[in-house]
């Protein structure tokens, strides 16, 4: 608990997204990194398996199965977030039959580059969709599960096509070319 209070205090002092990944470096294991390849560049994501083990395990399983490869960023709201994970075509995993995840709410704030799991109004309904915040979003804090942080390549997320102002629905969305786990054994 003291560790969380200390980290929470450090996060409160962080002025920008550049300092946030360093403050959160202790979270997760060495094998909790994903690379997401977009047309514009590669985004590196640190996963927090210590505080959201079930969400991280789900995302890792989906990455290993190539579920996210070719997946569109179908919802992008300027100044808020970019969301992906809703397939436009059939995939190996049918999201309708995947078990829903119980919320793993934690004390980490939604800062620029924070990765959260999308869900319905039911806090225990997350499954396969995730979002990346483009700015501080206090109203999401302790309402959605934080399970990762962009550590490199946020400029590529910023370049995603924007959707309409109300719902963020994107016409002709950018897609994830490929996602892969980066382990200590990856060369």
Contact 146, 117 (CB under 8 A): no
Report pLDDT digits (tens) over 118-164.
Answer: 999 999 998 999 999 999 999 999 999 999 999 999 999 999 999 99
Ranges 13-22, 138-147, 173-182: which has the least confidence: 13-22
Q: Averaging pLDDT over each range in 35-39, 83-87, 98-102, 118-122, which range is the top one? A: 35-39
Q: Give the model's pLDDT for residue 14.
A: 40
Are 140 and 123 in contact by the 8 Å Cβ rule? The answer is no
- Domain limits of the chain? 2-182
The pLDDT of residue 6: 38
The CATH number fitting domain 2-182, selected from 2.60.40.180, 1.10.357.10, 3.40.50.1110, 2.40.100.10: 2.40.100.10
Structure tokens at 100: 């829903």
pLDDT of residue 3: 44
pTM of the predicted model as reported, rounded to 2 decimal places = 0.82
Place of tokens 């934690």: 106
Q: Would the pLDDT of 19 be above 60?
A: no
Token pair listed for 59 = 């995302």
């Amino acid at each position: 608990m003291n560790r969380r209070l200390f980290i929470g205090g450090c996060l409160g002092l962080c002025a920008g997204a550049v300092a946030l990944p360093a403050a959160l470096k202790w979270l997760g294991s060495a094998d909790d990194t994903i690379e997401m390849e977009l047309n514009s560049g590669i985004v590196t994501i640190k996963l927090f398996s210590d505080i959201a083990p079930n969400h991280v395990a789900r995302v890792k399983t989906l990455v290993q199965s190539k579920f996210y490869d070719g997946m569109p960023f179908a919802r992008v709201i300027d100044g808020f977030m970019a969301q992906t994970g809703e397939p436009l075509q059939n995939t190996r995993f049918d999201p309708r039959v995947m078990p829903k995840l119980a919320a793993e709410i934690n004390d980490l704030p939604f800062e620029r580059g924070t990765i959260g799991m999308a869900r319905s109004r039911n806090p225990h309904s997350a499954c396969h969709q995730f979002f990346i915040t483009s700015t501080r979003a206090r109203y999401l804090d302790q309402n959605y599960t934080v399970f990762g942080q962009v550590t490199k390549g946020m400029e590529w997320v910023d370049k995603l096509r924007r959707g309409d102002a109300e719902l963020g629905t994107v016409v002709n969305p950018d897609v994830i070319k490929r996602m892969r786990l980066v382990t200590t054994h990856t060369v």
